[in-house]
Structure 1
Amino acid sequence: MSHTRAVRPPRALLAAAVVACAVAAIPLAYLLVRVGAAGIEEVIAVFGRPRVPVLIANTVLLAASVTLTTVAIGVPSAFLLARARLRGRAVWTMLAALPLAVPSYLAAYGWLAALPWMQGFWAAWFVLTLVAVPYVTLPVAAALRAGTTGLDDVARTLGRGPLAAFRLGTWPQIRPAVLAGALLVCLYTLSDFGGVALFRYQVLTTAIQQAYGASFNRDYAAILATLLVLLAVAVVVGEQVARGRAARQFGAVTGPARQRRVRLRRWTVPALALLLVPPALAVAVPVTVLVVRLFEAQTLRAVDAVELGSAVANTVLLSASGAVVAILLALPIGILAARYRGRVVRAVETTGYLALGLPGIVVGLSLVFFSLAVVPVFYQTAFVLAFAYGVLFMPKAIGGIRSATAQVPTSLEDVSRTLGNGRTRTWWFVTARLARPGIAAAALLVTVTAMKELPATLLLRPTGTDTLATELWSRTDVSAYGAAAPYAVVLLMVAAIPAFLLSRARTGEFDEAVP
């Protein structure tokens, strides 16, 4: 049975979602103002530059390659976590989530410290794939746990092989999760700056950062950012079309509510190797290099405990505040997308996702422009930085809230309404309680991502306020690898906490731990 409704959404919910979209559209408004001021002649001139097609091609190639590779690794990894007979399943799930704690520039920094010759497309593809795999693995594993193997068994009794049975029985159940994970990976790759910059691979984000840094040609940067937005729109619309086509083709997949564990037998070693590759290469190698640097005598003497403690406190407080903002903005959009369909709903959801395709510096500059023009009292305050985190990472919260809400049967809400409860009371006491693990997972995902955010933090942080990411970047930017090591290790340790909680939330343990 479908958990969406064809009726019009409540006006209050639609109004709240539109307000959230208006907030998310602040960076787009800034870009429109800049591009409008540049004029059509400047836009044509930018497209006529020979470097621009190269930047677009490099960006599309990297995003497509990373997305396809993460799906190729993430889906079988998720199958192993959810359906295979594994000892220490919770440990394996935690390891699968651990690369989320590693920002691309930290992983790139670790690999460059070990292999200074790493440069270009292959280096960027390698590192971005490693750190982005959990965006596919975790939601697909959750979908597999919530699904059934009964349809696979029926297909096997009809003479289908294991792969054919999986395609007919399980794939329709997990395809929305695969598409959602691939969407996050693609948008993440489009907006990444740190990793590609360290590997000297020229894409739209690096060109935008360079143009804004030069400050004399911000119209050029705004036009390039608009191109990036158009690419993000194409990706989001493509995911919506694919999701809708899957729903029309397969409908709501139901079957016997049963799970059958698969014995790995001779495939045990290759399976465990597959699960170990992303955390080993994304975490173990950089950490090993960092630990070696950390215990160098000169590095240990250079550590300022007060400065390090202040950076940790700022990182935790700002990222947690950004997660609260993101959840508040994403709730109406996620609920609307989960429960209703139509052109207006699709337009609202698309707008909500666009910020994730923007580089942090564009969001940062748009909020500088907005705060100075509308609320100058908040200019260069922690509130604006937390608000920027909320706008940047709201799309990651939307996906989690939408998926969690969609899993709650509408029949339960209908029963609550027949007992005299209003929409708000029904949502709070029925839907929200059942969707709580997914909402908590969305908040944790935003928190761990905000801890790693760099360009917006560099631009919007209050004077004298540093985070672990800015302290790390200021040292890696001048190749002071030894001095950066303490901040890199602590950033990994701090970000690993919400990543660990996220892995528990994905397995359903978090719901049991919350009273």
Structure 2
Amino acid sequence: MRLASPGFTGRDAVGVAAVLVSLVALLPLGFVIFITIQTGWQTVYELVVRPRVGELLVNTVLLEAVTIPIAILLAVALAWLTERSDLPGARIWSWLAVAPLGVPAFVHSYAWISLVPGMRGLWSGVLVSIMAYLPFLYLPVAAQMRRLDPALEDVAASLGQSPLRVFFRVVLPQLRLAICGGSLLVGLHLLAEYGLYAMIEFDTFSTAIVDQFQSAYNGPAANMLAGVLVLACLVLLGLENRVRGQERYARVGSGAARPAARVRLGRGTLVWLALPLGLALLSLGVPLLTLSRWLYLGGAAAWSSGDIGTALVQTLGLALIGGAATTLAALPMAWLSVRAPGRLQKVLEACHYYVGSLPGVVVALALVTITVRVALPLYQTMTTLLLAYGLMFLPRAVVGLRASLAQAPVELERAAMALGRPPFKAIWQVTMRLSAPGVAAGMALVALGITTELTATLMLAPNGTVTLSTRFWSLTNDIDYVAAAPFALLMVLLSLPLTLLLHYQSRRSIGQ
């Protein structure tokens, strides 16, 4: 028997909070649509259909079309060597394959430009992009390769298929989801990256938007370039969904618990070692050599700049505040996705996730326009900068929180409410305490993303704000590579824990 009307419940309050965050997350997309309508179709046509946009589009298509296939080939080969062969030191090579994520993309570019000053254009962009972003493909492919049921390969071999045919007909098709997911991540990063391509003077939509913004301060041309960039992101998402297909990759039953037999490389071991060794030298050795060289040339004087301490403190402050604020904003959505799944929850969750596929330059440009036109006192303030960080890294926080909340039994939460605890108090005292490790990991992922973020910080940071990334960028623009080296090294040291966490989680998920 119902004794009282439920009224406005705790779930309703969480739902309202999730809706509000979703509406804020829609600001960048709303900005693009609003500016397009306000500019007028004739002006939009003139700004979009012009040689400059065509040049940027050709550069973008070539960059994606050349980089992604090469990255797929290298990632699959490297994953097979570390997970399916008797390659000596496979565990070490596996970690070294992930470690380049600890080096920001624009630091990779800085290292190569320092070593080869004449690097310019498409092929230089392809090389540095592969060195910086290959781990995004290697991680899912290697993880999926560990989970494959070796019985399927044994059956194919028993039917007379050669090892090469078994790989292409049995193993490779089962890697499609991992390859598509990793390729999407790489493709989105190629669209969003600014510092890497600006340093090697390869024009992309991101570099053009920032240049246009700095010269015209949010002129219509920059807004329309942002619109084209959003369309490019949507096309990439649609293409990935089409290539991924609807095939099922699961089997009925538990499958084989035994690991797959490792292939003996025999006399070819030294030849195969050249791949992981070469990639490690190019992706880690070059940055390490460059940083060591500039730090050695600078000596103790390179560390004497007063900006180093200021940049480190401000970077850590923004990372901690941004990480905590973003995690708090993601909490309602993460709780709903675990405790109250449904159609509305899926719509709201999509609003949280889509913004993660937008380049940071689009998010920053949207906030610049909104603050200038609607809330001028917020223009170039810490509030706007932290809002940009929250929008850009919201998906990271949701993913981390959702996994953590799913492991906290809902029965304990309900028991606390049955004993008289208000809903929010029950969630805070029971669920959040049990989820604390996952919450901390989510905050760390967001904080480390903020540590190396460049584009939005350049466009939105208040005057006087100095972070490791912006100070590094300023010094490299002045060709002062010696003074820039300490800032690059500190960013690497702060980012390395993320690579360790990703590598550990990828192996822990399959019990290794």
TM-score range (shorter-chain normalised) is: 0.7 to 0.9
| Structure 1 residue 319, shift from structure 2 partner | 3.0
Q: 2: CA distance between counterparts of 1:331 and 1:272? A: 45
- Give the aligned partner of residue 362 of structure 2: 362
The Cα offsets for residues 219-240 of structure 1, whole Å up to 9 and x where unpaired, read as: 1111111111011112123333
- Give the aligned partner of residue 132 of structure 1: 133
Q: 2: CA distance between counterparts of 1:146 and 1:488? A: 37
Q: 1: CA distance between counterparts of 2:242 and 2:436? A: 25
On the 8 A contact 2:87/2:269 being kept in 1, the answer is no
Structure 2, gaps ≥5 residues long: 1-10
Distance 1:430 1:177, change over 3 A: farther
Q: 2: CA distance between counterparts of 1:276 and 1:433? A: 42
On the 8 A contact 2:223/2:365 being kept in 1, the answer is no
Q: 1: CA distance between counterparts of 2:288 and 2:382? A: 30
Distance 1:331 1:420, change over 3 A: closer
- Give the aligned partner of residue 222 of structure 2: 221
- Give the aligned partner of residue 494 of structure 1: 494
Larger deviation, residues 323-332 vs 77-86: 323-332
Distance 1:50 1:197, change over 3 A: same
Q: Which amino acid aligns with 1:201?
A: F
| Structure 1 residue 348, shift from structure 2 partner | 5.7
Distance 1:77 1:302, change over 3 A: closer
Larger deviation, residues 445-454 vs 37-46: 445-454
TM-score w.r.t. the length of structure 1 is 0.81
Distance 1:214 1:511, change over 3 A: farther
Distance 1:168 1:483, change over 3 A: same
The Cα offsets for residues 254-298 of structure 1, whole Å up to 9 and x where unpaired, read as: 62222124134234334433223333212211221222122225x
Larger deviation, residues 304-313 vs 33-42: 304-313
Q: 2: CA distance between counterparts of 1:313 and 1:344? A: 41
Q: 1: CA distance between counterparts of 2:358 and 2:180? A: 20
Distance 1:277 1:441, change over 3 A: farther
Q: Which amino acid aligns with 1:181?
A: G
Question: For the aligned residues, what is the CA RMSD?
Answer: 4.2
Which residues in structure 2 correspond to 1:82-231 (within 5 Å)?
82-86=83-87, 88-167=89-168, 169-171=170-172, 173-215=174-216, 218-231=219-232
TM-score w.r.t. the length of structure 2 is 0.81
- Give the aligned partner of residue 23 of structure 1: 24
Q: Which amino acid aligns with 1:482?
A: V
Q: 2: CA distance between counterparts of 1:441 and 1:246? A: 33
Larger deviation, residues 369-378 vs 449-458: 369-378
What secondary structure, in the 3-state scheme, does the structure 2 residue paired with 1:116 have? coil
Q: 2: CA distance between counterparts of 1:270 and 1:421? A: 63
- Give the aligned partner of residue 57 of structure 2: 56
- Give the aligned partner of residue 3 of structure 2: none
On the 8 A contact 1:229/1:354 being kept in 2, the answer is no
Q: 1: CA distance between counterparts of 2:286 and 2:350? A: 37
Which residues in structure 2 correspond to 1:243-254 (within 5 Å)?
243-247=244-248
Q: 2: CA distance between counterparts of 1:238 and 1:337? A: 27
Q: Which amino acid aligns with 2:46?
A: A
Q: Does 2:477 match 1:477? A: yes
Q: Which amino acid aligns with 2:263?
A: R
- Give the aligned partner of residue 506 of structure 1: 506
On the 8 A contact 1:139/1:177 being kept in 2, the answer is yes
- Give the aligned partner of residue 319 of structure 1: 319
- Give the aligned partner of residue 8 of structure 2: none
- Give the aligned partner of residue 237 of structure 1: 238
How many residue pairs get aligned? The number is 496
On the 8 A contact 1:327/1:397 being kept in 2, the answer is yes
Q: 2: CA distance between counterparts of 1:113 and 1:185? A: 24
Q: 2: CA distance between counterparts of 1:164 and 1:139? A: 23
Q: 2: CA distance between counterparts of 1:13 and 1:259? A: 44
On the 8 A contact 1:131/1:278 being kept in 2, the answer is no
Structure 1, gaps ≥5 residues long: 1-9
What secondary structure, in the 3-state scheme, does the structure 1 residue paired with 2:256 have? coil
Q: Which amino acid aligns with 1:301?
A: A
Q: Does 2:34 match 1:33? A: yes
Q: 2: CA distance between counterparts of 1:377 and 1:495? A: 33
- Give the aligned partner of residue 79 of structure 2: 78
Distance 1:285 1:212, change over 3 A: same
Q: 2: CA distance between counterparts of 1:431 and 1:86? A: 43
Larger radius of gyration, structure 1 or 2? Answer: 2
What secondary structure, in the 3-state scheme, does the structure 1 residue paired with 2:246 have? helix
Distance 1:486 1:464, change over 3 A: same
The Cα offsets for residues 39-95 of structure 1, whole Å up to 9 and x where unpaired, read as: 111111113312211211211221232222222212232233333345545433331
Q: Does 2:295 match 1:294? A: yes
What secondary structure, in the 3-state scheme, does the structure 2 residue paired with 1:296 have? helix
Q: 2: CA distance between counterparts of 1:160 and 1:179? A: 26
Q: Which amino acid aligns with 2:364?
A: G
Q: 1: CA distance between counterparts of 2:95 and 2:236? A: 29
Q: 1: CA distance between counterparts of 2:397 and 2:67? A: 22
| Structure 1 residue 347, shift from structure 2 partner | 6.3
The Cα offsets for residues 381-422 of structure 1, whole Å up to 9 and x where unpaired, read as: 4454333223123345667778x69xx89xx99999999999
Q: 1: CA distance between counterparts of 2:189 and 2:182? A: 11
Q: 2: CA distance between counterparts of 1:480 and 1:252? A: 60
On the 8 A contact 1:334/1:398 being kept in 2, the answer is yes
- Give the aligned partner of residue 393 of structure 2: 393
- Give the aligned partner of residue 5 of structure 1: none
Q: Which amino acid aligns with 2:114?
A: A
Q: 1: CA distance between counterparts of 2:141 and 2:434? A: 22
What secondary structure, in the 3-state scheme, does the structure 1 residue paired with 2:247 have? helix
On the 8 A contact 1:148/1:170 being kept in 2, the answer is no
- Give the aligned partner of residue 307 of structure 1: 307
Larger deviation, residues 212-221 vs 75-84: 75-84
| Structure 1 residue 97, shift from structure 2 partner | 1.8
Q: 2: CA distance between counterparts of 1:136 and 1:431? A: 33
Q: Which amino acid aligns with 2:127?
A: F
Q: 2: CA distance between counterparts of 1:69 and 1:94? A: 21
